Amino acid sequence: MTIFAKNTKEKVDNFINHPSHALALSGVSGAGKYRVAQHIASDIFNISEEKISASPYIKIISATGKDAIATVREAQEFLQLTVPGKAVFRRCIIIADADNLGHEAQNALLKTLEEPPEDTVIILTISDENKLVDTVRSRLNWLRVYPLSQEEALATLQDTYPKNEIVKAWHISDGAVGLLINILQDNEAHPLVAAIEQAKGTLKQSAYERLANIDPLLKSKEFNLLLFLDATHRLLRAALSSAATKGDKHQTQVLAGQIKNTLKAKEYVQKNVQPKLVLTELFYSL
């Protein structure tokens, strides 16, 4: 089942009723854009979401970790195939994380967006709109995937998960549906969920243990510094909300300082400061 914020669902329903050839689903990482894309394809083409990946007329391509030009070429080869039937829309292609395509690949995709096959719906999921070239951006119809409010999350999920777990996951995820669900399911295959578990363990350690663990962390193939800092920031912010609700002024001040230091660490990474120095300064302050 795909879960939507109310304002997202209204726009999704409107698109399904009046589909166009090229749609961009935008939203923060973990917003659930891919699930929304599946839902749209499922509804337009009258196929269950579980069977989408097996459909010969629905192509799903991830632009993450692949040669960008090869990604576009794979999409274009699929679009050259003839699709039987007389329905207005008979085929769909979903390109997940399309903002990972470089400018050269985007320009290669542009002709397809300018002259899409009449029977085809093209759906791109986008986390960072600024990575798209203007010509590609202008060829897309845009639909924002909004986060759930806490009330929406509780109303939708309280029959499946304990209320306190939903509230905790909502604060960590900022209501981003995809991340929220993956946290509740403890799905460590999700990169940010794995980073959150890693950050939880680190925050429970003493300063000495954290500092001693810097080298092993940085040497781990699974460790992503920016994801780790994002996860740490999310956990501290959720703890701050809880402390504020309880009226714990001392803990609120401590957590606010730790959040400030975590944001500073993010800035250092973006300025290419040596990762070991970033973590050393942060771990002293936590």
Structure tokens at 268: 């250092």
How many angstroms from the chain centroid is the CA of residue 179? 7
As a whole number of angstroms, the distance between CA 191 and CA 204 comes to: 20
Determine the straight-line distance between the first and last CA of the chain, rounded to whole angstroms: 39
Helices within the chain (DSSP H only): 6-17, 33-44, 68-79, 103-114, 134-138, 150-157, 163-173, 177-184, 191-204, 207-212, 214-219, 225-246, 249-270, 275-285
Residues 6+ apart with CB under 8 A from 202: 210, 213, 228, 232, 283, 286
Question: What's this model's pTM, rounded to 2 decimal places?
Answer: 0.83
Nearest to 155, CA basis, from 170, 140, 141, 143:
170
Can you spell out the DSSP letters for 177-230?
HHHHHHHHTT-TTSHHHHHHHHHHHHHHS-HHHHHHTHHHHHH-TT--HHHHHH
Report the amino acid identity of residue 134. Answer: D
Say how far apart CA 251 and CA 244 lie, in whole Å.
8
The pairs formed by 162-168 with CB atoms below 8 angstroms and a separation of 24 or more are: 168/238
Q: Which pLDDT tens digits describe the chain residue by residue (286 residues)?
A: 678 899 999 999 999 999 989 999 999 988 999 999 999 999 999 899 889 888 999 999 888 776 888 888 888 998 888 888 888 889 999 999 999 998 899 999 998 899 888 899 999 999 999 999 999 999 999 999 999 999 999 999 999 999 999 999 999 999 999 999 999 999 988 889 999 999 999 999 999 999 999 999 999 988 999 999 999 999 999 999 999 999 999 999 999 999 999 999 999 999 999 999 999 999 999 9
State residue 121's pLDDT score: 94
Residue 92 CB contacts under 8 Å (≥ 6 apart), including other chains: 41, 44, 45, 57, 58, 59, 120, 121, 122, 123
Q: What is the DSSP letter of 143?
A: E
